Amino acid sequence: MRAIKKPSKAIKEKLRRTERLIETLKKAYPEAHCELDYTTPLELLIATILSAQCTDVLVNQVTPALFKKYKQAKDYAVAPLADLENDLKRIGLFRSKAKNIKACCTVLRDRYRGEVPQTLEELIELGGVGRKTANVVLGNAFGISSGVVVDTHVSRLSQRMGLTKETDPKKIEIDLMALVRKEEWTIFSHWMIWHGRRRCKARNPDCAQCEWERHCLKRNVE
């Protein structure tokens, strides 16, 4: 019988540090949540696709009119591409996003009766949907812990805090999933994103006021 390998001393210490970090962020951001505005899984899916390389603030300015005009997947599927592009012209990369949304919603209409699927494998086959988008939708719209959302904030903070040495989002996600309890994968991403937007910014991080300052390894902090 193969012996079960025990966690190394270094791994145990990283797990303890992660638990302390979670407690710190939980106290700092008790109201943390997804900052994209939505009322249905489809709306969250569309908003998340639009949020790539774009701020949530701008997406939330565009989506009220968009969601009023396109209420179901079939509405996006049958819309002329030029019209959809015009509706999204304030968003960065709007042409490619319009094309992806139309393709995505065509599949939702034809294969899933207009409903957003609830598995990672099905979601990542849709146009414009990768692991990050799929994790956002599953975790927030359905309460399904499929993984950790690794956006630019989570990536930056995870490296600065010494939770990972990886730079590839997929590898960062694997490291974080090993450190964070599954039931906290979704909210952990929100805590990290809120901290990244409000305190640990890419440039000029507010280390002096940071709740985690005395524990932070500050890797790659200039």
pTM: 0.93
Q: Output the pLDDT for position 133.
A: 97
What is the number of alpha carbons within 13 Å of residue 31 lying toward its C-beta? 1
Q: With cut-offs at 50, 70 and 90, classify the pLDDT of residue 3.
A: low
Residue 197 contacts residue 137 (beta carbons within 8 Å): no
Number of domains within the chain: 2
Q: Which one of 87, 112, 141 terminates a domain? A: 141
What CATH number is given to the structural domain containing 130?
Answer: 1.10.340.30
Given a cut of 80, whether residue 222 has pLDDT beyond it is no
- Where does a domain end: 112, 141, 170? 141
Q: Higher confidence at residue 12 or residue 63? A: 63
Q: Are residues 27 and 52 located together in one domain of the fold?
A: no
pLDDT score for 147: 97
Of 141, 156, 191, the one marking the end of a domain is 141
- Output DSSP code: residue 215: T
Same domain, 52 and 126: yes
The helix-helix angle for 169-179 and 131-141 (nearest 10°) equals 40
Calpha distance 109→121 (Å, rounded): 18
| 222 falls within a domain | no
Say whether both 137 and 196 belong to one domain. Answer: no
Q: What does the pLDDT read at residue 124?
A: 97
Question: Please, which pLDDT band fits residue 1 given cuts at 50, 70 and 90?
Answer: very low
Higher-confidence position of 5 and 86: 86
Per the structure, the complete domain to which residue 202 belongs is given by 14-32+147-209
Q: Which residues belong to the active site?
A: 132, 151
Residue 196 lies inside a defined structural domain of this protein: yes
Tell me, yes or no, whether 137 and 151 share the same domain: no
Q: What are the counts of helices (DSSP H) followed by strands (DSSP E) for the chain? A: 11, 0
